[in-house]
Structure 1
Amino acid sequence: MTTMGELCNRTVSIVEPRERVIDAARRMRDHHVGCLVVVEDRDGARVPVGLVTDRDLVVGALATRPGSIEQLEVRDVMSAHLVIAREEEPLLDALSRMRAHGVRRVPVVDRVGVLQGIFAVDDILEHVTEHLDQLVRLLGRERDHERDATSPRAPS
């Protein structure tokens, strides 16, 4: 059983709720990401409280409040209804919940809710590709083995 902790990306770009939207956009550009996990510091631990995506910035900030973007904070445009996954959670359970909530990305937390990583639906492609590659190699070896077993042998 594959878990979310095994598949999540442990390098997470974060932002705090009171940071300016313009700074979040720059961070996305600098880190080449389309999503930042919004975190609060709770006793020295980073706990996810939301997500802000490039789409949130365009639709939530530019399209609805174009004149006041300099004053907007991340908390004004972030997705506050947060779907999270636990590290030990089976992949299929998390994918089912993601589908039910219509989300493509989830922060991954430990047992006490501290941010450990992020998982995006795109990440599953890498996992599936690895398994398909192994299957293709197995089929190739099976063909080679069958060919060797059925080919006539030269007399000794």
Structure 2
Amino acid sequence: MPIENLARSDVVTASTDDAIHELAATMQEEDVGSIVITDGDAPAGIVTDRDLTMHVLAEGTDPDEVVAEDVMSEELQTVDHDAGFSEAAGLMSEHGVRRLPVMDAESNLAGIITVDDLNELLADEQQELAEVIRAQRPPY
């Protein structure tokens, strides 16, 4: 199944010069753990709730003095919309990330897939397999 069928298309984005306190408020309002940072229309990085904790709170940085570009992960890993589950999981594992922005055929941001999304799909598939086994199991 292509990632585009699994990914959420409602990606929360912000620009590189948005203040950290704005990002935190947006995460709370949108109930998300990350924001894709864009430079124009192109994804430039990602800021996660963990980034805010580790790079702002833990370091005692004044949040009013920090913008997205200061804390974002710049080595942004993305996945093509037509990639499969295995490729997305492999990229997450190889690069140690939990979120992958999904790019369409024109290299535009089309969605986001998370390790939680992949795990949920696996759980659904396991449930389907369990139903097959239950249907074929002889009565005890």
Alpha-carbon RMSD: 1.5
**Sequence identity percentage:** 29
- Structure 2 residue identity aligned to 1:57: L
The corresponding residue for 2:108 is 114
**For 1:26-47, what per-residue CA distance to the aligned partner results, in whole angstroms no more than 9, with x for missing partners?**
0011111111111132xxxx32
Deviation at 1:71, TM superposition (A): 2.1
Deviation at 1:65, TM superposition (A): 4.5
Structure 1 residue runs of 4+, over 3 Å off? none
The corresponding residue for 1:100 is 94
Number of residue pairs aligned between Structure 1 and Structure 2:
139
Deviation at 1:140, TM superposition (A): 2.2
In the alignment, is the contact (CA less than 8 A) between 2:85 and 2:118 conserved in 1?
A: no
**For 1:3-45, what per-residue CA distance to the aligned partner results, in whole angstroms no more than 9, with x for missing partners?**
221211112111111100000000011111111111132xxxx
Q: For 1:72-87, list aligned pairs within 5 A.
A: 72-87=66-81
The corresponding residue for 2:129 is 135
Q: TM-score, normalised by structure 2?
A: 0.91
The corresponding residue for 2:118 is 124
Q: For 1:3-152, list aligned pairs within 5 A.
A: 3-41=2-40, 46-66=41-61, 68-143=62-137
- Give secondary structure in 2 for the equivalent of 1:70: helix
Please list every run of 5 or more consecutive structure 1 residues that lacks an aligned counterpart in the other structure: 148-156
Q: TM-score, normalised by structure 1?
A: 0.82
**For 1:51-107, what per-residue CA distance to the aligned partner results, in whole angstroms no more than 9, with x for missing partners?**
0001111111222242x3202110011001110001011221222122111111110
